[in-house]
Amino acid sequence: MSEALADTTATTAAPDGAVSVSGTTDAAAPAPAAEQAGTLLGSDPVEKPVTAPADWPEDWRTKVAGEDAKEIARLQRMGSPADVWKAYRALEAKISSGQLKQGLKPDATPEEVKTWRAENGLPESPEGYKPQLPNGMIPGEADAPLITGFQKTAHELGMTPDQFNKTLAWYYNEVDADAAQRVENDKAFRATAEDQLRAEWGPQYRAEVKGIANFLEASAPAGLSDVLFNSRTSDGKLLGDHPEVLRWLSGMVRTVNPMATLVPAGSADPLKAGAARIEEIEGIMKTDQRRYWNDAEMQSEYGKLLEAKASMTGRAA
């Protein structure tokens, strides 16, 4: 049996002393040598990507903020820790760009204040705030005290020139809007008041209004009618359009100077103007009776003028 094995295999010595097996018949291929694992020090380190979890845990806000309810509430604004990182990066960018400035210390010295104002582009004094309004608008002289006061306030608050002018522009826009709204309100109130008085006074509406104007022109000190009619009630309505005021004045006219309702508006002396109109109508009666007797309106006017003249003459006596 040993001879048969010798026929099929033979052993030879390899130059390095290892044993080599060869044969003249089919034989199994030699097994590959086992690969050694090596050591950490003996291998080249390879970077491996860190695999993030598919989703953040539901309690990630609590893990970050602990038991601080306020901080947890703030984190509710964030959808995930990725949003926290984005917010941090945005803040970092603002700081790097200089958008976030350090505030002034409460106990800052005058020199520190001066330096801080210069670094932040703030005027050194209130007068350094120059009004620059949109559309070339320039504040009037009447607004000078307002501008001066606001300059002082802006300086105390540390406002930038841009903030100063934007606030000033907002103020004037509000003033303009308020004025425009007041005009619309006045129109609406005037229309309503006129409708009421026309319904009450009928065809005599114009005469009543004219009489009030003449009465004030003849009786009131110069300029008083303008002050009175342009004054406003507590709810912003003009007295010159107020039905109650006009009714009261109409009553005064009828009592004190009834002639005022019969002569043209603006007559400084209604009694004299009334006498002149009576004389004019009587002249027509003498020279053109047909015209007078065919004009019912003139006849009515003549009668009212005589009544007013008699009333005022009797009162004077």
Predicted TM-score (pTM) of the model is: 0.50
Q: What is the pLDDT of residues 155-179, one digit of tens each?
A: 999 899 999 999 999 999 999 999 9
Q: What is the pLDDT of residue 37?
A: 59
Between CA 175 and CA 61 the distance in angstroms is 48
With a cut of 70, which residues of the chain have pLDDT below it?
A: 1-43, 45-54, 95-103, 257, 265-268, 313-317
Burial class from Cβ neighbours inside 10 Å (0-12, 13-18, 19+) for residue 215 reads: buried
pLDDT of residue 300: 86
pLDDT at 174: 95
Is residue 132 within 8 Å of 165, Cβ to Cβ? yes
For residue 216, the tally of other CB atoms under 10 A from its CB is: 19
Predicted confidence at residue 3, as pLDDT, reads 46
Rounded CA gap, 261 and 210, in Å? 6
pLDDT at 55: 77
pLDDT at 32: 55
Distance between CA atoms of residues 99 and 101, nearest Å: 6
Contact 169, 133 (CB under 8 A): yes
| pLDDT of res. 30 | 55
Q: What is the pLDDT of residue 179?
A: 94
